């Protein structure tokens, strides 16, 4: 909310424009499981690990940003339920709530974007005999629900401002990757689209799921539904590898394959104002010495 989160290696920072117009920056450190366990660096698996870790850090930084916009209730007494939870979990209550929020979010996402399209496609079994055609229709329904969801939330005023900050994030990174100083004047001229965007990742998940489910052929309806849940991590891992490769490649093939995800950013990013660009710059400065990076880039000191 009214902010931008940036991550560089183990460091992350979130900069928030507070109601008094000041920019508050919170810095943090998170050691990835990939640094501790070799198995978490294996292709596909590392994508699942990265996805889970991103959810955790995202919820944590979201809680930080929203704290500046919550109504002040200093005199209000906590309810009995809140008091009971505090007695049970103590100082860990915030982490427990965050974990439950992530779990509920994942369950809802799987239910809406995986199981619901499957259920709707099963209604066609008596009309369409081909498993391949039904699976393709299931995929089309899944993508359709996702696009409808994105379009609907993009029309909400609060979400629109989130998408403006999203655009500020992309434009700032694009400016930095082109070796220019991070100033609102420089950043303003760059694109708000980026190949490594998280929403591009979500669309790739939808597309990869169609391909994966085309090769999964079982007869029992319950097993079909179960596989759609169990294979979500695998699909997410494959999608991560694609996004990772696309972000590092400028080949014509990868640029073409990245077009659908880039097009989706037309809805999930909006042109920011200069105050938002200032927040994005502050977030970058919380994790990265961009001046030294730009200097090294200009002097040809960076390795490919």
- pLDDT on residue 103: 81
Are 34 and 41 in contact, with CB atoms under 8 Å apart?
Answer: yes
The reply to whether 27 falls in a domain is yes
Collapse the DSSP code of 88 into the 3-class scheme (helix H, G, I; strand E, B; otherwise coil) and give the result.
Answer: helix
Instruction: Count structural domains, the chain.
Output: 1
Mean pLDDT in runs of 10 for the chain (304 residues)? Answer: 88 92 90 86 88 83 80 52 67 71 83 90 88 91 91 88 94 93 95 84 86 85 87 88 80 81 88 95 92 88 64
Instruction: Flag whether 303 is in a domain.
Output: no
Task: Write down the pLDDT at residue 170.
Answer: 95
Pairing of strands 23-29, 11-17: antiparallel
Decide if 265 is inside a domain: yes
Token pair 């001229």 is at which residue?
Answer: 189
Asked whether residue 95 is assigned to any structural domain, the reply reads yes
Helices 157-177, 274-285: inter-axial angle, 10-degree rounding: 60
Give which of 206, 172, 210, 208 is closest to 189, Cα–Cα: 172
Supply the range of the domain harboring residue 184.
3-70+78-298
- On whether residue 121 sits in a domain, the answer given is yes
Domain annotation covers residue 57: yes
Report residue 3 as tokens.
Answer: 């902010």
Q: CA angle at residue 266 from 265 to 268, to 5 degrees?
A: 50
């Amino acid at each position: 909310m009214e902010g931008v989160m940036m991550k560089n290696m183990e460091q992350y920072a979130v900069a928030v424009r507070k109601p008094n117009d000041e920019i508050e920056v919170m810095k943090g450190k998170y050691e990835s499981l990939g640094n501790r366990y070799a198995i978490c660096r294996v292709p596909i698996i590392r994508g699942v690990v990265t996805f889970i870790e991103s959810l955790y850090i995202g919820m944590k930084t979201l809680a930080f940003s929203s704290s500046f916009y919550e109504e002040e209730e200093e005199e209000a007494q906590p309810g009995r339920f809140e008091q009971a939870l505090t007695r049970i979990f103590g100082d860990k209550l915030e982490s427990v709530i965050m974990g439950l929020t992530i779990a509920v979010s994942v369950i809802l996402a799987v239910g809406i974007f995986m199981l619901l399209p499957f259920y709707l496609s099963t209604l066609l079994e008596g009309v369409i005999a081909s498993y391949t055609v039904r699976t393709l229709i299931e995929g089309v329904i899944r993508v359709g629900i996702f696009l409808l969801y994105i379009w609907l939330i993009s029309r909400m005023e609060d979400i629109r401002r989130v998408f403006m900050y999203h655009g500020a994030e992309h434009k700032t990174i694009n400016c930095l990757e082109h070796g220019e100083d991070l100033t609102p004047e420089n950043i303003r001229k760059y694109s708000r689209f980026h190949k490594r965007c998280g929403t591009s990742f979500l669309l790739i998940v939808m597309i990869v799921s169609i391909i994966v489910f085309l090769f999964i052929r079982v007869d029992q309806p319950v097993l079909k539904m179960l596989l759609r849940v169990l294979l979500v991590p695998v699909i997410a891992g494959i999608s991560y590898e694609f996004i990772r490769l696309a972000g590092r490649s400028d080949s014509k093939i990868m640029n073409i394959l990245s077009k659908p995800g880039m097009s989706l950013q037309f809805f999930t990013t909006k042109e920011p104002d200069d105050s938002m660009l200032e927040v994005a710059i502050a977030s970058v400065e919380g994790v990265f010495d961009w001046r030294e990076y730009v200097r090294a880039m200009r002097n040809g000191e960076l390795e490919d």
